[in-house]
């Protein structure tokens, strides 16, 4: 089974609507590694690592988001394994502070 690490940036109405918590819950339920955080420009940034098909399904879910979110765009690119070091110690998937 192949493994992927993808970095995504989600824009739209994605802050103040529980988007980060929703991403963390969904990613954890899928046994993905990574993190999610708000950005000061109003977007949400996330890193997903795991089986390629599961990561792709998570990104597809991010295009919809939780019910009250309004996703305008999702940009994705290859992620770097070093970016996983941003997680909190002992956590598979972390909600990080705003940058």
CATH of the domain at 43: 3.30.70.100
C-beta of residue 75 within 8 angstroms of C-beta of residue 14: no
Is 91 domain-assigned?
A: no
**Catalytic one among 20, 63, 64, 87?**
20
Indicate if 20 belongs to the active site.
Answer: yes
Mean pLDDT by 10 residues, the chain (99 residues): 94 96 97 98 98 98 95 97 95 95
Is 84 domain-assigned?
A: no
| CB within 8 Å of 6: residues ≥ 6 apart | 47, 48, 49, 55, 59, 76, 77, 78, 79
**Catalytic one among 6, 37, 38, 87?**
38
| Residue whose structure tokens are 């394994």 | 81
Domain count of the chain? 1
Is 24 domain-assigned?
A: yes
Is 94 domain-assigned?
A: no
pLDDT at residue 1, as a whole number: 65
pLDDT at residue 91, as a whole number: 95
Tokens of 35: 């993190």
Indicate if 37 belongs to the active site.
Answer: no
Is 14 domain-assigned?
A: yes
pLDDT at residue 64, as a whole number: 94
CA 33 to chain centre: 10
Is 47 domain-assigned?
A: yes
Is 20 domain-assigned?
A: yes
Its domain, for residue 65, covers 3-79
Is 43 domain-assigned?
A: yes
> Does pTM surpass 0.75?
yes
């Amino acid at each position: 089974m192949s493994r992927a690490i993808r970095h995504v940036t989600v824009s739209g109405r994605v802050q103040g609507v529980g988007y980060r918590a929703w991403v963390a819950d969904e990613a954890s339920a899928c046994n993905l590694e990574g993190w999610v955080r708000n950005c000061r420009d109003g977007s949400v940034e996330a890193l997903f690592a795991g089986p390629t098909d599961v990561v792709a399904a998570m990104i597809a879910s991010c295009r919809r988001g939780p019910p009250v979110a309004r996703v305008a765009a999702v940009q994705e690119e290859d992620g770097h394994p070093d970016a996983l070091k941003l997680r909190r110690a002992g956590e598979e998937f972390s909600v990080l502070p705003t940058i």
